[in-house]
Amino acid sequence: MKHEIAKMNWLLKVPGIFVLLAITAGAVFYWNPLWVNDQQIRYHLWRSKVHSEYVDVRGSRIHYLEARPPDGSPGKPLLLLHGLGSRGEDWAPMIPALAAAGFHVYAPDLLGYGRSDKPGGAYTIEREEQVIIHFIWASHLAPQDPVTGGFHVDLAGWSMGGWIAAKLVLDNPAWFNRLVLYDSAGITFQPSLARDAFVPTDSAGLALLMSMLSPHPATLPPFVVRASLRRVAAEGKIIQSSVDSMESGSDLLDARLGNISQPTLIMWGAEDKLIPISVGEAMHRGIPNSVFESVTGCGHLAPSECSKPVLAGTIQFLKAQPPMRGGEQILSGDAH
């Protein structure tokens, strides 16, 4: 009898426990919605067998995501470099599918970004390039070719990451097989945003930045806006340092694009307002035999917002035998 009474008392408490948990979860989401979103992304990646790792690179701890082909094969090494104010998790819509297609994927957080260390000093294109060079060595990303000394890695970069990727290929041509550039920076053009617009301090500034990134920006509730502005403020010095480096023009690649000999795919959101499609077309003209693919209905965030057509085009290019050279194609962003 005492046992039954105790059981009934426990059952009576259960609804209250669930209510308390719901209130707690709601409070956590309200005060830190971006943290909750991060945990959901990381859980999805973990379920997809994408591993979170760290490696020491010249005294700095660099975080990266790694995924191997599910069939147990070694996979072809593929290195993904994110853009300004971003991190490796922003490749989340693409990493599992790329691994399933037979690639051994590495997506590091650049120095100062994501979960990588944030040491002092200027965050220049050159500094980020050197970190990736040593990341390749430190992570044993691919076996070194005893004849050429190269690593035979496929390389992809998005926005600022495209600039770094193209510079890596130019400075270390024996290391890389194929190059993919998504809405890439790296050549001269007239920016449509002021230099401080990448670190907005109020809701209007955040809305402006989002409208430049996506043709269909989400309407954020006030508590998400506040959380976003807090995160931007925390990362503001590093983002601004990266912007300063890019605007200095010291590492612009205009005059060097013709030296890229690797098969190159240039993919662009047709409605990119941040780095307009004319920049991608200029890169296409500058890189010999490059393939140019635009994605309709998509902006600067095409690899995440329009991941299906971007994935399809990327995998087709990276696996094509013989390699694709030259040509232009329009992809529909409706499949995202």
91-132 tens-digit pLDDT: 999 999 999 999 999 999 999 999 999 999 999 999 999 999
Is 11 found in the same domain as 61?
Answer: no
Inter-residue contact 272 to 185 (CB < 8 Å): no
pLDDT of residue 4: 55
Q: Is the pLDDT of residue 26 over 80?
A: no
The band of 175, judged by pLDDT with boundaries at 50, 70 and 90, is: very high
- Determine contact, residues 113/87, Cβ cutoff 8 Å: yes
In this predicted structure, the answer to whether residue 17 has a pLDDT above a threshold of 60 is no
pLDDT tens for residues 298-318? 999 999 999 999 999 999 999
Residue 136: band (very low, low, confident or very high) from pLDDT cuts 50, 70, 90: very high
- For residue 153, the surrounding DSSP H or E stretch is strand 153-158
pLDDT band at 279 (very low <50, low <70, confident <90, very high): very high
Which pLDDT tens digit goes with each residue over 205-218? 999 999 999 999 98
Task: State pLDDT tens for residues 27-66.
Answer: 555 668 999 999 999 999 999 999 999 999 999 999 999 9
* CATH at residue 56: 3.40.50.1820
Same domain, 103 and 125: yes
Burial class (CB in 10 A: 0-12, 13-18, 19+), 42: middle
Across the chain, mean pLDDT equals 91
Residues 22 and 105 in one domain: no
Q: Which domain holds residue 135?
A: 34-335
The model's confidence at residue 192, banded by pLDDT at 50, 70 and 90, is confident
**18 lies in the same domain as 41:** no
Asked whether residue 190 falls in the same domain as residue 243, the answer is yes
Q: What CA–CA distance (Å, rounded) separates 198 from 140? A: 34
Q: Are strands 60-67 and 51-57 parallel, antiparallel or unpaired?
A: antiparallel
Same domain as 121, residue 78: yes
CA 94, 81, 103, 178 torsion-angle sign: positive
Q: Alpha-carbon distance 265 to 325, whole Å?
A: 9
Q: Are 95 and 154 within one domain?
A: yes
* pLDDT value, residue 30: 60
Instruction: Determine the pLDDT at residue 31.
Output: 65
Domain co-membership, 270 together with 324: yes
Q: Are residues 51 and 72 in the same domain?
A: yes
* d(C-alpha 257, C-alpha 263), whole Å: 12
Quick: pLDDT tens for 146-169: 777 788 899 999 999 999 999 999
What total of structural domains would you count in the chain?
Answer: 2
Q: In which residue are the tokens 């700095």 written? A: 60
Regarding whether 6 and 127 lie in a shared domain, the answer is no
Distance CA 131, CA 129 (A): 5
* Token couple for 160: 């600022």
Q: Do residue 223 and residue 138 come from a single domain?
A: yes
Q: H helices then E strands: how many in the chain?
A: 10, 9
Query: In percent, how much of the chain has pLDDT > 70?
Result: 90
Q: Are residues 295 and 311 in the same domain?
A: yes
Which of the pair, 273 or 144, is modelled with greater confidence?
273
Q: How many residues does the chain have?
A: 336
pLDDT at residue 329 is higher than 80: yes
Residue 162 is inside which H or E element, if any?
A: helix 160-171
